[in-house]
Structure 1
Amino acid sequence: MTPDSAVRPADQTETDEWGRLNPRLFLVNLSVVATPLATFAATTVLTGGEINLQVLITCASFLITCLVIAGISVMRLITTRYRITDDRVELHKGRFFRSERSIPVDRIRSVDLTANPLHRVFGLTSLKIATGDQATSGGGLSLDGLSVHDAEELRRRLSELRHARQGLATADPDDDATLARLDWAWLRYAPLTLWGVGGVFIAVGSVYRTLHEMKVDPLELGVVKDLEERFGSLPLWYGILLTLAVIVVIGVAGSTATFIEGWGGYHLDRPETGLLRVRRGLLITRSVSIEEQRLRGAEVAEPLLLRWAGGARLKAVASGLGDEDENSSRSRLTPPVPRALAQSIAADVLGERVSPTTEAQLAPHPRAALRRRLNRALIWSVLIAAPLVGLGLWLTPVLVHTGWITAVVLFCAGAAFAFDAYRSLGHAVHGPYLVTRSGTFTRRTAALQRDGIIGWTITRSAFQRRAGLLTLGAATAAGSGVYKVRDVAVSDGLALAEDAVPGLLAPFVERAPARH
């Protein structure tokens, strides 16, 4: 029994009905076996029907593993039972290793629903009750395999219990609580990300490694041989350009497909007082709830290509969203949208007339911060071009000239990014918020509530000390944990910390003795 379990009140009856997972989950568990069978069929097609012993062993091992996983899932279906009483949620599961957990209703922070394609085929979903603990284990309860109707009913009942016990007002069903909904015009922002192109390399690498483990040489496959015969006689430069074009096209298509799948049916609303809910997903549906009393701010992220197109993404800075990976996924409030809309939604979420990420007048940073970025661009340009120059001194002067040209081109590009990164730097104390901005490949503007700051971190590298700069980090229990004001002057950084949270940094600052 978990520590948060308590003795049941005497007036609570023992007739509370125990619920079980939906029997259709059995079909979902059996469908896991289809994966190794499909892998074997695909391998047979790729190899033209030539199956060696290594392929058989690999596929058989995969099949046995999936059968074991399916067996464990079936056992969970048989042994799991749950119930909701007036003051807590209880979950019992396991036969040989029995687990009994109980969570008071007062500790529940959100109830999320997620359904993958297999669950949706059989009309099922997964319900997760989160308590706000940052740890992945012991931070809530999960019921994987409820019917959609039962899951919605459980969420509604838990919501009513929380409102009754905390004295919260219920939302008026006649009020329009919608903050944003999907506009397919946003699809134009989908290709403006490098993740699609990176996904192509990841997918190719994964396929190559899998075939290599099966003792199958991908370069000897019939498809690869056909491509080699068709394009093998082309000039090298033309082949490189053609390959890059294919990668970009596939990457754009992948990014667009990812946007459609991840944000289809997007809806941001307030289903009840004090609660934000994000619903999204075409194949895998997700419904994430964020308690507004745990909201500590908002962050507007602008990846480089998206920023050039006038787009941005909005994330919530909130506590209780799980570990780093869970927080990254559950804190997303919008897909890539027009920047003005992201700022408008940020204002609505924070309950402000205008978002502090827009209204705050950010103070510029010292020119020493620009010199640091220019020096960094110069160093990287020299390091990359140095091998070419070195080989040129040993082999041919052509490489020497190529190295110098490469260094100049790289430095010019690096200098452009350095100026952009410097212009992105800024900080301000705006009303109840600390606002900080930095980044060039992804420019992030975060508005953090000052009463949510629980500490400061100050870092100074050797180069920063020479330039009279420091990086000030505002530590908080929400979001990424630390929001940094990068490369600010020492006096300005200390003054900013004192202005944002008076007295928090004072015990750790040594004041210089007064001069007479």
Structure 2
Amino acid sequence: MTAGPDGPPWRRLDKRMLAVTPLSGAVRLLPVAVVVLLTGQGNAIGRLWVPLGIALALVLVGVVRWRTTQYRITADRVELHTGWLRRQRRSVPRDRIRTVDLTAKVVHRVFGLSVVHVSAASGSSGDSSGLSLDAVSTAEADRLRHELLDRSATTVVEHPVQPPAHERAPASESMSQRLREAPAERQRGRAIELARLRWSWLRFAPLTFSSIAGVGAIFAAVYNLFDDLGVDPRDVPAVDDAAHRLTTAPIWLGVLVVGVGLLVVAVVGALLLFAERWYAYRLTREPATDDGTAEGGALRVRRGLLTRRSLSVSQVRLRGAEVVEPVLLRAGRGAQTRALSTGLSRDSQGGALQPPAPRAEAHRVASVALREPPELATLAPLRRHPRAALQRRLTRALAPAAAVVVIAFVIGPAVPVPWLGPASLVLLPVALLLALDRYRSLGHQLTARYLVTRQGSVQRRTVALQRSGVIGWTFRQSVFQRRAGLVEVEAVTAAGAGGYPVLDVAAPDGVALADATTPGLLTPFRT
């Protein structure tokens, strides 16, 4: 440590990272070395000098990075200084911190290290939206997580104001009320488990797009590796024999075998990815202070087999929850819950509070995360939208389908594929069902604390957004919407996607909904 002139001392990353950096690079190079040795392409010993040289360069880079990286935590900021040739100075205000993410890959876990990623709301002052410490000891990472989240929970402006002393309830009555509301959450200094993994949820793994995409990405990476090394899998006798049999078999049999093989690989791969991502999954709520009596705290998601992940979301910065139902997962009566907060990743797993699970479990997790009964959150009874919204969905689904059918009938005889036109007729009932389902999914409701909206068919989303988290409104109205008397109303928020629309509501209802959600916000703009 080196003492700062006007604050706490600067700290260095853990010295064990000097071994982690080259080992991590060696792990990435290992598949290349194995393929080179097993296939015997070219001079294997000579080509191994390249990865060895890269490994030595990684050692040097690790030493330089350790020597030039310092961080410190002051009363109101987190500061990080990095770089030698290109120096960077990052500073994040602690009252803007939203999430703290701990990640430990296999190599990090061997040396007892973790990567700490601090995410914060970016402001106009130019402050960074976050920073990463790669790597610190596991104990130090956990201590930083507690320190940063506790600080953010006690300095935010949204913290409820305490009433005067003469208006407060007696201490015994206040405590008994808290115990009645959430008896399990008031145990002193203990994290309360809200959900854990059930292996029966594995059945939802093949029904998620992210798992299918993950399997595809692995296949693409393996293919690119073989292609870069000039290795042809058909050089393996067993592979060449199987390919020959498929090419000489009837077409329908070859297509069937390839299809079944791809399906089996996709299912098995999805199961393995699910197990790696969600092994030892736990969702807990941690108190804001050691005595467990302060409001706030954090939601913590821990998961992972090879790579351990821990995501902590400040409870007072949580702006809502979203229950997502992709079409395949929805067909299996499954769903997944995600948190709405700033500082979360925008990828398919960003803010995930649980793995794909039964729909009822997803709504339960959203309820306990928001501390709100399900019927006042994501399971609130929704108001139907006008019939004009159904007409718009029918038009937007059937018109493109009808155009494709006409084109198929026109070009079918010229291709020639005479069955192309009749086969395309299947698009019409599919489009009709899609339009009806999209309308059936539309709905919104305003509860005491949340604006609840639902939309989508291929991917249905039910969002419960805190009314206090809405910072503005956007009204959109196309020519066709204006003729139908409809409007799209979008609630603007700093969390999640940044805005959540209520599609195709009657124009007066849209204005009334916005005005009721944030009373007084639209008053200066109304005539």
TM-score (norm 2): 0.81
2:41 to 45, 50, 61: 50
Please list, as runs of the form range in 1=range in 2, the aligned pairs for 1:92-491 lying within 5 A after superposition: 92-101=81-90, 103=92, 105-133=94-122, 138-158=128-148, 172-173=187-188, 175=190, 177-213=192-228, 224-273=239-288, 274=296, 275-319=298-342, 321-322=343-344, 324-325=346-347, 329-394=349-414, 399-400=417-418, 402-491=419-508
SS of the residue corresponding to residue 127 of structure 1 reads strand
1:493-516 CA-partner distances (Å, limit 9, x unpaired):
22322232234345556x6xxxxx
Kindly indicate whether the alpha-carbon contact (under 8 Å) linking 1:346 and 1:355 is maintained by their aligned counterparts in 2.
Answer: no
SS of the residue corresponding to residue 230 of structure 1 reads helix
| 2:21 paired with 1:26 | no
Q: 1:411 to 1:132 in 2, by over 3 A?
A: same
Deviation, 1:99, is 4.2
Mean Cα deviation higher: 23-32 or 418-427: 23-32
Kindly indicate whether the alpha-carbon contact (under 8 Å) linking 1:437 and 1:445 is maintained by their aligned counterparts in 2.
Answer: yes
Deviation, 1:479, is 0.9
Deviation, 1:80, is 2.5
Q: How well do the aligned residues superpose, as a CA RMSD in angstroms?
A: 3.6
d(CA) in 2 for partners of 1:187, 1:439: 25
Aligned length: 489
Kindly indicate whether the alpha-carbon contact (under 8 Å) linking 2:36 and 2:229 is maintained by their aligned counterparts in 1.
Answer: no
Aligned to 2:293: none
Q: 1:450 to 1:158 in 2, by over 3 A?
A: closer
1:79 to 63, 68, 89: 68
1:14-41 CA-partner distances (Å, limit 9, x unpaired):
xx56543223222222221353353143
| 2:29 paired with 1:36 | yes
* Residue identity in the other structure for 2:400: W
Kindly indicate whether the alpha-carbon contact (under 8 Å) linking 1:388 and 1:403 is maintained by their aligned counterparts in 2.
Answer: yes
d(CA) in 1 for partners of 2:349, 2:415: 52
Mean Cα deviation higher: 437-446 or 25-34: 25-34
Q: 1:289 to 1:34 in 2, by over 3 A?
A: closer
Deviation, 1:424, is 0.4
SS of the residue corresponding to residue 263 of structure 2 reads helix
Deviation, 1:437, is 0.3
1:142-193 CA-partner distances (Å, limit 9, x unpaired):
2212221232344445567668878999974465622112222222222222
Identity %: 41
d(CA) in 2 for partners of 1:382, 1:313: 34
Deviation, 1:255, is 1.8
Deviation, 1:258, is 1.7
SS of the residue corresponding to residue 461 of structure 2 reads strand
Deviation, 1:324, is 3.2
Deviation, 1:423, is 0.6
d(CA) in 2 for partners of 1:496, 1:163: 31
Deviation, 1:426, is 0.5
d(CA) in 2 for partners of 1:77, 1:278: 29
Q: 1:456 to 1:65 in 2, by over 3 A?
A: farther
Kindly indicate whether the alpha-carbon contact (under 8 Å) linking 1:20 and 1:80 is maintained by their aligned counterparts in 2.
Answer: yes
Deviation, 1:248, is 1.9
Q: 1:205 to 1:142 in 2, by over 3 A?
A: closer
Deviation, 1:224, is 4.8
Q: 1:232 to 1:83 in 2, by over 3 A?
A: same
SS of the residue corresponding to residue 309 of structure 2 reads strand
d(CA) in 1 for partners of 2:77, 2:515: 43
Kindly indicate whether the alpha-carbon contact (under 8 Å) linking 1:264 and 1:280 is maintained by their aligned counterparts in 2.
Answer: yes
SS of the residue corresponding to residue 324 of structure 1 reads coil
1:95-154 CA-partner distances (Å, limit 9, x unpaired):
444445555555544433111122112221112233333899823332212221232344
Kindly indicate whether the alpha-carbon contact (under 8 Å) linking 1:428 and 1:435 is maintained by their aligned counterparts in 2.
Answer: yes
d(CA) in 2 for partners of 1:21, 1:240: 55
Aligned to 1:3: none
Deviation, 1:341, is 2.1
SS of the residue corresponding to residue 425 of structure 2 reads helix
Q: 1:110 to 1:201 in 2, by over 3 A?
A: closer
Deviation, 1:477, is 0.7
Deviation, 1:490, is 2.5
Kindly indicate whether the alpha-carbon contact (under 8 Å) linking 2:405 and 2:421 is maintained by their aligned counterparts in 1.
Answer: yes
d(CA) in 2 for partners of 1:148, 1:75: 22
Deviation, 1:43, is 4.8
d(CA) in 2 for partners of 1:420, 1:190: 24
Q: 1:203 to 1:148 in 2, by over 3 A?
A: closer
Unmatched 5+ stretches in structure 2: 161-174, 176-184, 289-295
Kindly indicate whether the alpha-carbon contact (under 8 Å) linking 1:277 and 1:290 is maintained by their aligned counterparts in 2.
Answer: yes
Kindly indicate whether the alpha-carbon contact (under 8 Å) linking 1:19 and 1:81 is maintained by their aligned counterparts in 2.
Answer: yes
d(CA) in 2 for partners of 1:467, 1:103: 48
Unmatched 5+ stretches in structure 1: 1-5, 512-516
Aligned to 2:163: none
* Residue identity in the other structure for 2:139: H
Deviation, 1:308, is 2.8
SS of the residue corresponding to residue 256 of structure 2 reads helix
* Residue identity in the other structure for 2:339: A
1:335-374 CA-partner distances (Å, limit 9, x unpaired):
1122222222222222223353345221112223223333
* Residue identity in the other structure for 1:50: Q
